Amino acid sequence: MRRIHRLLVANRGEIAARVVRTCARLGIESVLAASDADLDSLPARLADRVVRLGPAAASESYLDPDAVVRVATAVLADAVHPGYGFLSENPALARACAAAGVVFVGPAAESLEAVGDKLSARAHAVAAGLPVVPGGEAADLAGARTVAAEVGYPLLVKAVGGGGGRGMKLVGDPADLARTLDLAVSEAAAAFGDPRVYLERFVSSGRHVEVQVLGDGTDAVALGDRDCSVQRRYQKLLEEAPAPLLPDRLRRDMADAALALARHLGYRGLGTVELLVDRERETFYFLEMNARIQVEHPVTELVTGLDLVAEQIAVAEGLPLRIRQEDVVLSGHAVECRINAEDWVHDFRPSPGRVQRVVLPAGDGIRVDTHVQAGSVVPPFYDSLLAKLVVHGADRADALARTRAALRLLRIEGVTTTVPVHEALLADPRFAAGGVDTAFFERFLDAARPVGVR
């Protein structure tokens, strides 16, 4: 057990501000490691102190494990919180932290490796008794044909090193298999430095539902589920908790599956087990496990009343779980809208620049996690997430109504934001009915986009 008194936040944006907030509440001194582009950011103003991590280019700052450990050591930090993205699931950072005697606020390097590679994650899921999408590795064309014969068409060719929708190709016809396989292998080698690919059955109507887990290395608890089916090019736009319209049996089985995997891994930390719910078969399959805090964690916080960053820090300190499964009681429904600096009318073109004014909705059940205020610069080097509007309601209909009202009051001026696309989405009766699949949002966009704009 090691108490954390000073914590280095090795990330940027809203999650940096989010981690700093919990540190302040817990009396932990926060030091933000910022690139040159972020030294004057809102998180830098909120943190107790800020230290330069490196140049604006992420490869030389937020993505450089040596730089992070060097800075952590220089400021005498007890721990490093990696946030999400960047190095959050990088075993090299976890090992370098351990070697430097600094606590990594995340799972053990072995766990990161176990779930970091798609094939390894799949093998662990199978070993833990989780259902997986029918499929298998395709070392060559003959192997691919054998797997394809079992899986059937249409199928997906996925890069072992991919994730988040990257390195994935759809094959509708057996005649296209050879060509797509060649392309997928060469692209995987170029993009991920790993040419291995595998084949998987394509589920035509699937929902993306994930279970939040927290483990202390011995035991684990499930903290409810989230529905993240509203996606564009595999990027989530809106998430909610709990996942609507799931049969009780399915929801229970999914939570049990996530716990089985966490226990099988001896998992210590916060993690998310992503599952694909097959709408037609009313069943689910393991997709992947994310070994970090996620962007959409606040919807879970609002329905459970927990501070997930605080729990994450506690298990990183070596404390046993302080939540028992029977203590996890979900209340109401929560929705998160990701407000990005993008122009949805022009194919979600990025909109970096200087923010002139930030007016946020406030009141009961409303929370906005953001890293911008009047005068903030949104640099072009990183992702476009400006803020997350998170709204809690008594039930789903109430949460959606409150979200609509809150969106009308939210104004981030100076850059173009995705507020209008959320307003349009929340006005859509199919979305309001609940339980849309992952293909819904692209169809919605095709219909909703103003005439004459591509």
Partner 1 sequence: MSAVHLGPDDVRDVLRVLDSNGLDELHLELADLTLTVRREGAGWTAEQTVLREPVRVRTSGGPAGRAVDGAGDGRGDRDGSAADVPEGLVPVRPPLLGTFYRAPQPGAPPFVDVGDRVVEDTVVGIVETMKMMTPVHAGVSGAVVEFRTGNGEFADDGAVLLLVDPAGADVA
Residues that bind partner 1 (CB under 8 A): 21, 24, 31, 36-40, 42, 44-54, 56-57, 61, 64, 66-67, 70-71, 74-75, 190, 341-342, 348-350, 352, 354, 357-364, 366-368, 373-375, 377, 379-384, 405-406, 408-409
Min dist CB 134 to partner 1, Å, is 32
Write down the least CB distance from residue 177 to partner 1, Å: 25
279 is catalytic: no
Distance (Å, whole) CA 410 – CA 358: 8
Rounded to a whole number of angstroms, the minimum distance from the CB of residue 43 to partner 1 is 9
How far apart CA 420 and CA 339 sit, in angstroms, is 10
Q: Which is nearer to partner 1, 77 or 213 (CB)?
A: 77
Amino acid sitting at position 435: G
Q: Which is nearer to partner 1, 266 or 350 (CB)?
A: 350
Least distance (Å) between residue 222 CB and partner 1: 26
Q: Are strands 166-171 and 155-163 parallel, antiparallel or unpaired?
A: antiparallel
State residue 73 phi and psi, 5-degree precision.
Answer: -70, -40
- The residue (of 46 and 112) whose beta carbon lies closer to partner 1 is 46
Q: Cβ closer to partner 1: 87 or 321?
A: 87
Helices 297-304 & 308-316 angle (0-180, nearest 10): 100
Q: Least distance from C-beta 39 to partner 1, angstroms?
A: 4
Query: Which token pair is 153?
Result: 């068409």
Q: Which is nearer to partner 1, 152 or 164 (CB)?
A: 164
Cβ atoms within 10 Å of 44's Cβ, excluding its own: 19
Amino acid at 287: L
Minimum CB–partner distance for residue 158 and partner 1 (Å): 20
Angle subtended at Cα 15 by Cα 11 and Cα 17, rounded to the nearest 5 degrees: 95
Closest to partner 1 by CB, 42 vs 157, is 42
Catalytic residue among 207, 292, 367, 402: 292
HEC readout, 274-329 = EEEEECCCCEEEEEEEECCCCCCHHHHHHHHCCCHHHHHHHHHCCCCCCCCHHHCC
Task: Please spell the DSSP secondary structure of 128-193, one letter per residue.
Answer: TT--B-SEEE-SSHHHHHHHHHHH-SSEEEEEEEEETTEEEEEE-SGGGHHHHHHHHHHHHHHHHS
Tell me how crowded residue 307 is: count the other CB atoms within 10 A of its CB: 17
Neighbouring C-beta atoms of residue 415, cutoff 10 Å? 22
Q: Compute CA 337 distance to the chain's CA centroid, rounded to the nearest angstrom.
A: 13
Which among 123, 105, 128, 100 has a CA at the least distance from the CA of 113?
A: 123
Q: Nearer to partner 1 by C-beta: 374 or 427?
A: 374
- Beta carbon nearer to partner 1, 179 or 349: 349
Q: How far is the CB of 22 from partner 1 (least distance, A)?
A: 10
Residue 449's identity, in one-letter code, is R
Residue 366 CA to residue 131 CA, distance in Å, equals 37
The least distance separating partner 1 from the CB of residue 170, rounded to whole angstroms, comes to 21
Which residues are the active-site residues?
292
